[in-house]
């Protein structure tokens, strides 16, 4: 974790996303949805980077873009985007080399454990698949590996469970299976796209603890995508807040919670129920994320922002340094803090 | 019918029953195949198919007469079923039972192989079109439209006209090549919906290539409609072979097939119904049994079906 104050020496970047633009052409050419619009962030070895935002902010499209899993058409990643993994641009990689990265170096777990497993194969077969693809293990060795992975992710009776079908498992168990599938080749990066959204709260905590433990044991980096700031607080080292296809704030987790700078982040934090505060109505950010085909001019948050003034509608701020190391926000308030007067 | 042929027929029945019993016994050890035998109709269907296959293989033992021999063109035409002629004789005094038994060889052979060629090709084309979409899909599906629009008999007539004395293997291939269009549409529709499913994206995220995704993740989930279409396909091929024989371009006479027996004897259907009824029944039995077996296979392939 980065400590505020003295800038620590940064290790080499493992995964660099820079100027990523993923657009979708909507039907009948009515418009272009700019789902991810100029997003940049770095992922360092061994850290957990949280990506937070409401539904429709471009989090999932960002994660799919990294492994080039965006359906084309209608989606396409614009030229000029760069996704650099260990010095190679994944966006320019030929298909066979890309497949060698997927599941092997960078793995992914999905939001819906109920539908992300193939219903007609045993979980053992599915966990073994990546090992067979990338390490060319024999069926027998792959099966042993699958059992070992099931044990690692804490599934009881792995010898028996390996022959079960997905429908025989609960949601939490299936998510553990998904994690086992993703980690079977010991990837360097794990992209976890809302890994706990479909699960109930107690199972959520177990799955997140499991991810933490495995990250520690295997020494991988995790890109944790979530809409839940509570999840980020407990598990991420740094946070990227996304809004309307843009990064609006990046900060070390502590700094973000201590001094949220962008009004959107502030709004998100105010919307989290707190056990130590008097019980009042939960705060809500008025309005909704606008449609990706028609982002507002200027700062994309200004129609919903309690502090917005004319400059915000006219001109979009760049990511501005807040003064804390590694903490930037895309808000004019950083340069003009005196303007922070709520209209309401 | 001689004692020997009765005995051979009896042995064939016992063999078929015993085969099914053994299979069933073995199947009980494994969950998946237990589901296969869950329905009684499936077991019966399998038994009937096994019996017909054994009969086809052992045709010379079970048939009392030479199927092509005109026994007595003066006295024995359209003889009704009797102990000597179990299913009667046809208009040129050939034994219907012997012809039905030998006809099983050709009919089952053409049916199985023709349907196999058709379903394999249809599945492949449908999967490729549905998975790759865009221009691949457009080209393949317009081709299928053309194939469906052209009358099949016309294509077959052309093939026969261009290829004098069509050999058996070529007949199967020609039938297969003209029967896959429906299957390919069906499979394409399944693949179009399956390729959007989360587990397909998950498989690609694991580094699976297109071939692996199509054949391991997409098609097994489309197994049920493919198998049902294969079962129906066998029936269609049997009927197609019948109409080809009717037009005189199928299997060369006098060799019997169920189709050409019906075609040859259709004029005497009111006076001597036995010579068309029994080959017709044989076709019906095959199709019914295949459907029953297809249901069982579909259940066996779908692990979500809980064992009863």
The DSSP secondary structure of A134-174, one letter per residue, reads HH---HHHHHHHHHHHHHHTT-SSHHHHTT--GGGS-HHHH
Mutation target among B30, B133, B207 for the A interface, most CBs of A within 10 A? B207
Name the residue among A73, A96, A120 with its Cβ closest to that of B220. Answer: A120
Chain A residues touching chain B at CB-CB below 8 Å: 64, 67, 69, 73, 95-96, 99-104, 107-108, 110, 112, 115-121, 129-130, 133-134, 165, 167, 178, 181-182
Q: What is the 3-state secondary structure (H, E, C) of A66-117?
A: HCCCCCCCCEEECCCCEEEECCEEHHHCCHHHHHHHECCCEEEECCCCCCCC
What pLDDT does residue A6 have?
Answer: 52
Structure confidence at residue A58 (pLDDT): 83
pTM: 0.76
The pLDDT, as a whole number, for residue B235 is 79
Question: Which candidate from A99, A119, A167 shows the least CB-CB separation from B221?
Answer: A119
Cα nearest neighbour of A191 on chain B: B205
On whether the CB atoms of residues B63 and B97 are closer than 8 A, the answer is yes
Chain B positions touching A117 (Cβ under 8 A) are 199, 202
Average pLDDT, chain B: 82
Q: What pLDDT shows up at residue A329?
A: 85
Band of residue A2 on the pLDDT scale cut at 50, 70, 90: very low
pLDDT higher than threshold 50 for residue A1: no
Q: In this predicted structure, which of A33-37, B165-169, B269-273 has the lowest mean pLDDT?
A: B165-169
The first and second tokens of residue A175, run together, are 């998510």
Q: Does the structure show a pLDDT above 70 at B41?
A: yes
Mean pLDDT over B272-289 rounds to 87
User: What's the pLDDT at A28?
Assistant: 67
* Rounded Cα–Cα distance for residues B166 and B20 (Å): 37
Average pLDDT over residues A2-29: 72
Radius of gyration of chain A (CA): 21
CA distance A106 to A223: 10
- CB pair distance less than 8 Å for B221 and A120: yes
> Which of B27, B28, B35, B37 is CA-nearest to residue B299?
B35
The arithmetic mean of pLDDT across residues B106-132, rounded, is 88
State residue A216's pLDDT score: 85
pLDDT: is A30 or A215 the higher one? A215
pLDDT band at B112; cut points 50, 70, 90: confident
- Banded model confidence at residue A11, pLDDT cuts 50, 70, 90: low
pLDDT-derived band at B308, boundaries 50, 70, 90: very low
Task: Kindly report the nearest CA distance between residue B85 and chain A, in angstroms.
Answer: 51
Find, among B112, B83, B115, the residue nearest to B97 by Cα.
B83
Token pair 């070895």 is at which residue? A45
Average pLDDT over residues B37-43: 82
Nearest to A1 by CA among A189, A242, A251: A251
* Mean per-residue pLDDT, A46-52: 89
Residue % of chain B over a pLDDT of 70: 96
- Does the pLDDT of residue B256 top 60, yes or no? yes
Separation in Å, CA of B278 to nearest CA in chain A: 41
Average pLDDT over residues B32-55: 84
Alpha helices by DSSP H, listed for chain B, are 3-27, 31-36, 40-57, 59-62, 96-132, 134-149, 152-162, 168-177, 181-194, 198-205, 210-212, 223-246, 258-265, 274-301
Predicted pLDDT of residue A343? 57
Choose the closest CB to B206 out of A102, A120, A167: A102
The three-state secondary structure class of A16 is: strand
Chain A residues whose CB is inside 8 A of the B203 CB are 118, 129
Interval B60-88: pLDDT, tens: 888 787 887 777 777 777 777 877 777 87
CB contact (8 A) between residue B303 and residue A119: yes
Whether A47 and A221 have beta carbons less than 8 Å apart is answered as yes
Residue A23 pLDDT grade (very low, low, confident, very high; cuts 50, 70, 90): confident
C-beta of residue B289 within 8 angstroms of C-beta of residue B271: no
| pLDDT at residue B166, rounded to an integer | 66
A8 phi and psi angles, rounded to 5 deg: -75, 155
Residue A67 confidence (pLDDT) above 80: yes
Q: Centre a 10 Å sphere on the Cβ of residue B102 and count the other Cβ atoms it contains.
A: 23
> What band does A264 get if pLDDT is binned at 50, 70 and 90?
confident
- Packed helices B274-301 and B96-132: angle between N→C axes, nearest 10 degrees: 40
* Cα→Cα distances B57→B12, B101, B278, Å: 10, 9, 19
Q: In the predicted model, is pLDDT for residue B295 greater than 60?
A: yes
Least confident of A4-13, A29-38, A322-331: A4-13
Report the gap between the CA of A71 and the closest CA in chain B (Å): 9
């Amino acid at each position: 974790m980065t400590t505020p104050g003295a800038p620590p020496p940064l290790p080499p970047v493992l995964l660099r996303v820079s100027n990523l633009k993923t657009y979708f052409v909507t039907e009948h050419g009515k418009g272009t949805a700019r789902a991810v619009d100029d997003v940049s962030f770095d992922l360092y070895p061994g850290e957990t980077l949280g990506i937070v935002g409401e539904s429709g902010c471009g989090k999932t499209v960002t994660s799919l873009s990294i492994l080039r899993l965006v359906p084309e058409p209608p989606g396409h990643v614009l030229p000029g985007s760069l996704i650099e993994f260990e010095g190679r641009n994944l966006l320019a990689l030929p298909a066979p080399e890309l497949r060698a990265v997927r599941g092997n170096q960078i793995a992914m777990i999905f939001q819906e454990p109920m539908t992300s497993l193939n219903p007609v194969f045993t979980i053992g077969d599915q966990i073994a698949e990546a090992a067979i693809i990338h390490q060319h293990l024999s069926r027998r060795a792959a099966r042993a590996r699958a059992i070992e992975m099931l044990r690692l992710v804490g599934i009881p009776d792995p010898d028996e469970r390996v022959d079960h079908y997905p429908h025989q498992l609960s949601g939490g168990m299936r998510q553990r299976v998904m994690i086992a599938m993703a980690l079977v080749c010991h990837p360097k990066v794990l992209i976890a796209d809302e890994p706990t959204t479909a699960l109930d709260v107690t199972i959520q905590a177990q799955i997140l603890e499991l991810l933490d433990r495995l990250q520690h044991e295997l020494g991988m980096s995790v890109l944790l995508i979530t809409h839940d700031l509570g999840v980020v607080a407990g598990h991420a080292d740094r946070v990227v807040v996304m809004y309307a296809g843009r990064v609006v704030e990046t900060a070390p987790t502590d700094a973000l919670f201590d001094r949220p700078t962008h009004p959107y982040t502030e709004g998100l934090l105010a919307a989290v129920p707190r056990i130590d505060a008097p019980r009042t109505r939960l705060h809500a950010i008025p309005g909704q994320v606008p449609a990706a085909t028609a982002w507002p001019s200027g700062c994309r948050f200004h129609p919903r922002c309690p502090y917005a003034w004319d400059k915000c509608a006219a001109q979009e701020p760049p990511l501005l340094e807040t003064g804390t190391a590694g903490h930037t926000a895309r808000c004019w308030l950083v340069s003009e803090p005196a303007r922070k007067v709520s209209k309401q | 019918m001689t004692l020997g042929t009765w005995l051979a027929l009896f042995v064939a029945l016992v063999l078929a029953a015993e085969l099914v019993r053994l299979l069933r016994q073995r199947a009980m050890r494994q969950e998946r195949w237990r589901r296969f035998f869950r329905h009684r109709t499936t077991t019966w269907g399998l038994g009937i198919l096994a019996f017909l296959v054994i009969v086809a293989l052992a045709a010379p033992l079970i048939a009392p007469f030479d199927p092509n021999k005109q026994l007595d063109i003066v006295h024995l035409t359209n003889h009704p079923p009797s102990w000597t002629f179990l299913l009667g004789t046809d208009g040129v005094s050939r034994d219907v039972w012997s012809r039905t038994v030998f006809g099983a060889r050709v009919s089952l052979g053409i049916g199985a192989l023709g349907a196999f060629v058709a379903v394999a090709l249809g599945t492949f084309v449908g999967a490729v079109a549905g998975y790759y979409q865009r221009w691949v899909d457009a080209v393949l599906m317009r081709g299928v439209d053309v194939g469906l629009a052209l009358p099949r008999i016309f294509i077959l007539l052309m093939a026969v006209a261009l290829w004098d004395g069509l050999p058996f293997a070529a007949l199967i291939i020609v039938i297969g090549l003209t029967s896959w269009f429906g299957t390919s549409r069906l499979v394409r529709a399944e693949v179009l919906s399956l390729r959007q499913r989360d587990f397909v994206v998950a498989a690609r995220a694991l580094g699976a290539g297109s071939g692996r995704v199509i054949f391991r993740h997409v098609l097994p989930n489309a197994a049920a409609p493919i198998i049902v279409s294969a079962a129906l396909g066998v029936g269609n091929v049997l009927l197609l072979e019948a109409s080809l024989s009717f037009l005189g371009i199928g299997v060369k006479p006098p060799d019997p097939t169920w189709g050409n027996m019906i075609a040859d004897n259709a004029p005497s259907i009111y006076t001597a119904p036995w010579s068309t009824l029994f080959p017709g029944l044989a076709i019906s039995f095959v199709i019914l049994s295949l459907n029953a077996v297809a249901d069982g296979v579909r259940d066996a392939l779908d692990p979500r079906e809980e064992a009863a």
